[in-house]
Amino acid sequence: MVKDFLKLFLLAMLAFSFHACTTVYTAHGAYYRVQKGDTLESIATRFKKDLQELAEINNIEKVEDLKSGKSIYIPGITVNHFSHIIEKARASKPYVAKKIQEKPKKGKQEALNTPVPRIEVNHHRFIWPIRGELSSLYGMRHGRRHDGIDIRAKVGTVVVAADKGEVVFSKRMRGYGNLILIKHDEDFFTVYAHNSVNLAKKGKHVKTGDIIAKTGRTGRATGPHLHFEVREGTKARNPLFFLPKNQDVTKVQEKGENDDENNGRDEDENP
């Protein structure tokens, strides 16, 4: 009788803690469980975060994709490995942002008709640098932030420039192995890492689709693949928001990221 009572008590406490604790904090941010009535905009406002950033790190392309009970990650402090390279490249040719005209303040009626905020996506901004199965998505992975996507490929597969631009870095970087960083128009940069060899040298101007490297597993990687990043200035962006739609994304989301040896992704302790 006592044992049954204790069992029921523990189960009740467990259920209470599960429902009461909607936010679980980590060293770099927090996981928040979406409640009924929550919107991505309300969550962004609550945690003082940018709606677009929340959408990208959680791979949410439409506001209606947010479901009650789903856990989403609220990013905190992150480390940027490319800041000094990007800032140096930007200094050589400063990017001039377009002047945004301030809109007049809305009246009460206009405020009521304000459209639901939309998540910005541009699936025609870049081309795929390589074809292959995605082994890891952008966002949180095993409690650590992953600033790009990993694409499996055999060693020696050619890697192409995702857009025209100038190579501003082409050598080895700790953790990433052989890495190429390309500066593009509109203050965008793309990163290509773990290459077996870098073919495009620093200072080279490349066109969209030009061969720049060959895939490998240099640096810390579980198998041969390409680690690809998109950055706007120094800020990491979700590559899948800027690349043409790919059905392999669904495969990764459905089966999850496995931890098999040679699965072709970065090791967890590194990007």
Q: What is the model's pLDDT at position 69?
A: 84
Half-sphere exposure of 223 (CA within 13 A, CB side): 17
Q: Which residue did the predictor score with more confidence, 20 or 196?
A: 196
Instruction: Report the domain count for the chain.
Output: 2
Q: Are residues 46 and 90 in the same domain?
A: no
CATH classification of the domain holding 14: 3.10.350.10
* 168 and 244 part of one domain: yes
Q: Is 50 exceeded by the pLDDT of residue 269?
A: no
58/154 same-domain check? no
Residues across the chain: 271
CA 64 to CA 138: how far, in whole Å? 20
The tens digit of pLDDT for each residue in 228-262 reads: 999 999 899 999 999 998 756 656 655 555 444 34
Shared-domain flag, residues 184 and 65: no
Say whether both 181 and 269 belong to one domain: yes
- pLDDT mean across residues, the chain: 79
Between 257 and 127, residue with greater pLDDT: 127
Question: Are residues 217 and 137 located together in one domain of the fold?
Answer: yes
251, exposed or middle or buried, with CB in 10 Å at 0-12, 13-18, 19+?
exposed
Residues 69 and 54 in one domain: yes
User: Can you give the residue range of the structural domain that contains 237?
Assistant: 81-96+110-271
Do 170 and 212 fall into the same domain?
yes
The string of pLDDT tens digits covering residues 213-230 is: 999 999 989 899 999 999
> What gap in Å lies between CA 89 and CA 167, rounded to an integer?
10
Q: Do 24 and 92 lie in a common domain?
A: no
Q: Which residue has the tokens 């739609």?
A: 245
